[in-house]
Structure 1
Amino acid sequence: MTITINNQNFILHPCGAAFWEEKKMLLISDLHLGKIAHFRKHGMAIPEKAVQENFNRLKNVLELFDSETIIFLGDLFHSTINAEWDFFEEWTKTVTQQLILVEGNHDVISKKYYEDLNIEIYSELIIDDFLLTHHPSKRENFFNFCGHIHPGIKLKGLGRQFLSLSCFFRKPNQMIFPAFGEFTGNFNLIPEENDKVYAIAKNEIIEIKLGLI
């Protein structure tokens, strides 16, 4: 689905990424690399092949768009370095795009490790009249792209049926990105009158009518 914000076009993809057409930038939030290895280390029965799924998703979305820059909106790596860092380091060698990290609360790894991979790190990023952060932020005259919350939406059906979906949650001056990573979970949000919800339903993006929520 393509949406327009401040006269700029953004393609929302079902993986949870968005492509900024005019800037050729791919925006991704809350990848949480290392989380699966962290869970496995503490005895959770998660298949080892699940580690590779995040990298498969990255590969697939990069093949779809002619991006020159990838901006991670925080929580790129879940905690301290573990076995998944080696996979991430190898992945960076396969991409030609400029890599930028807007720091999130989980990004506790020393900046030197990212700098060694030529990844630029910022606490926030301003591009034209857009403010890119990890935590949702408000600033006059800027539209905020952010993550952190892992937004979801709960839909009501007949017979007390409910369906919970990840979503891009858009407020008048802000859009909260869904978590890109596997095993991240959602936090259901309740939209207000001027909000818009772009839900991820398998392989498509659907704008949800507020009456269904």
Structure 2
Amino acid sequence: MNLNIKIQDQDFVLHPFGAAYWPEQEVLLVADVHLGKVSHFRKHGSAVPLKAAAQNFIRLDELRKEFDPEHIVFMGDLFHSSLNIEWNMFEEWVSSIDNRVHLVAGNHDIISPTKYESLGIEIYSEIKVAGFHLSHHPEPQEDHYNICGHIHPGFKMRGDGRQLLKLSCFFRSSNQLILPAFGEFTGNYFIEPEEGDRIFAITGKEVIQVN
């Protein structure tokens, strides 16, 4: 189940996969997919099934069908490192869709821009639109509300009897929304919210405000 929130009088739909849809701009925001990481693990001997690499594209297609966005903006670290077999999967996926794809480059995005340009993908260091600042690294500003990735935010939910549940989350503060990592096997940085911060944990099936 999605969770709808308002930021600066704009609507944002937080999805259990970790993406956010901005209907006023018809934009789907997706951070830290880290394509190629599954193949990277397999190359170094990890017993990760190759079919796990397809999960990111399956989930992206589900989001496309649900929201039908005009634009898909990847908020950095689209690929984990250098080219591997998952680039071929990405090329096939891009050629099969009719959405406009954009990349806000992150620190892991080392693949040549010409490879993206050949697919019609525009690359930016940042995007500023309608009072919002889209970036990869957290860059809070006074005059724009920052939406970013990079951190891979997570939250530890503690229950009775020493139960501990570790979940990825959207992390919202007064001037910033940090998106969770979308990709498989990305890990989390567990955040302790301060007064006024909001945590929206994702379970894969729903988004829950937990504080």
Q: If the TM-score is normalised by the length of the shorter chain, which range does it land in?
A: over 0.9
Q: Tell me the distance in 1 between the aligned counterparts of 2:140 and 2:164.
A: 32
Separation (CA, whole Å) in 2 of partners of 1:66 and 1:60: 10
**In structure 2, what is the equivalent of residue 131 of structure 1?**
133
Cα deviation for residue 159 of structure 1 reads 1.6
| Aligned mates of 2:51, 2:140 — CA distance in 1 | 39
Cα deviation digits, residues 15-40 of structure 1 (max 9, x gap): 01111011110000000000000110
Query: 2:53 is matched with which residue: 51, 54, 60?
Result: 51
TM-score, scaled to structure 2 = 0.98
Q: Give SS of 1:49's match.
A: helix
Residue number in structure 2 paired with 1:82: 84
SS of 1:79 mapped into structure 2 = coil
For structure 2, which runs of at least 5 residues remain unmatched after alignment?
none
Structure 2 residue corresponding to 1:122, chosen from 124, 140, 143? 124
1:27 to 29, 38, 41: 29
Runs of 4+ in 1 over 2 A off after TM superposition: none
User: Matches of 1:136 and 1:129 in 2, distance apart?
Assistant: 16
Specify every segment of 5 or more residues in structure 1 that has no aligned partner in the other structure, as ranges. none
The one-letter code sitting in structure 2 at the alignment partner of 1:176 is I
Q: Distance in 1 between matches of 2:174 and 2:85?
A: 41
Distance 1:4 1:35 in 2: 33
Aligned length: 209
Matches within 5 A, 1:33-182: 33-182=35-184
Tell me, yes or no, if structure 1 residue 185 matches structure 2 residue 187: yes
Between the aligned partners of 2:133 and 2:127, the Cα distance in structure 1 is: 6
After superposition, give the CA deviation of every residue in 1:103-129 in whole Å (9 maximum; x if it has no partner).
100000000000000000000110111
1:66, distance to aligned residue in structure 2 (A): 2.2
CA shift, 1:161, in A, is 1.6
RMSD: 0.7
